Amino acid sequence: MTTSADPGTERLSPALRTEALEQLLTERGLVDPKVMDGFIANYETKVGPLNGAKVVAKAWTDPEYRARLLADGTAAVKELGFGGPQGEHIVVVENTPQRHNVTVCTLCSCYPWPVLGLPPSWYKDPAYRARVVREPRAVLAEMGLELADDVEIVVRDSSSEVRWLVLPERPAGTEDLSEEELVPLITRDALVGVAKVAAP
């Protein structure tokens, strides 16, 4: 005899279904929450963003690499050994004093994982996804980035066909720093376009 599924469970959001599955696996001893939290934190703050920071530092110090990165982001990122799922079709756009790029995925949370790690919770939030398209200057200001009125803001909408990566402006006072010294300055938020890279 078969029974139909509870119709209420079919309407649960993916986030709630994921949470329920995690709880079930934890209760059965198949998943250690502390281990999972460690994996997530590693991808959110270390592995991915560190890869992106290395890409940017290389572009800041090697004009030929910068040109290749802007011409074909996916290939240039692979030159440094970063690629794989969610790393296909990376397009790199450069921030300048006149133009500031910020990325979003209005449909879901498409994101270049190999260079940025897991998307932060605010990137997946419906409020960010809707508002940054309509009022990017206000959203950036709320996130701590005040831009002059004469700076053009371009919102780049990621998808399965294109995953955007921002090449931030190199801050003044870093001209004498090596590629290795530049890497720690470059944050995930600067690679998304919701922050600038601060001078040391």
Closest CA to 74 of 165, 159, 186: 165
Q: Is 136 a domain residue?
A: yes
Q: Is 108 a catalytic residue?
A: yes
Closest CA to 36 of 17, 21, 14: 21
4 is in an annotated binding site: no
The mean pLDDT value for 14-21 works out to 71
13 is in an annotated binding site: no
How far is 14 from 61, CA to CA, in rounded Å?
42
Q: Is 121 a catalytic residue?
A: no
Q: Is 12 a domain residue?
A: no
Catalytic residue from among 4, 13, 110, 158? 110
Q: Is 23 a domain residue?
A: no
Q: Is 56 a domain residue?
A: yes
Name the average pLDDT for the chain: 87
105 is in an annotated binding site: yes
Q: Is 28 a domain residue?
A: no
Q: Is 159 a catalytic residue?
A: no
How far is 128 from 135, CA to CA, in rounded Å?
10
Catalytic residue from among 13, 109, 121, 160? 109
> Domains in the chain: how many in total?
1
Q: What's the pLDDT at 126?
A: 93
159 is in an annotated binding site: no
Residue 47 pLDDT grade (very low, low, confident, very high; cuts 50, 70, 90): low
| Range name among 17-31, 39-53, 73-87, 93-107 with the lowest pLDDT average | 39-53
Catalytic residue from among 4, 108, 121, 178? 108
Q: Is 26 a domain residue?
A: no
CA distances from 78 to 88, 90, 147 (A): 10, 10, 32
Q: What is the pLDDT of residues 54-69, one digit of tens each?
A: 999 999 999 999 999 9
What is the 8-class DSSP label of residue 92? E
Q: Is 4 a catalytic residue?
A: no
For residue 10, pLDDT over 80 is answered with: no
Q: Domain of residue 119: give its range.
A: 33-192
Catalytic residue from among 4, 13, 105, 121? 105
Q: Is 37 a domain residue?
A: yes
Report how far Cα 112 is from the mean position of its chain's Cα atoms: 6
Closest CA to 78 of 55, 61, 58: 55
Find the CATH number of the domain harbouring 59.
Answer: 3.90.330.10
Please report which helix (H) or strand (E) contains residue 119, including its range: none
Q: What's the pLDDT at 198?
A: 96
Q: Is 152 a domain residue?
A: yes
pTM for this entry: 0.77
Q: What's the pLDDT at 39?
A: 61
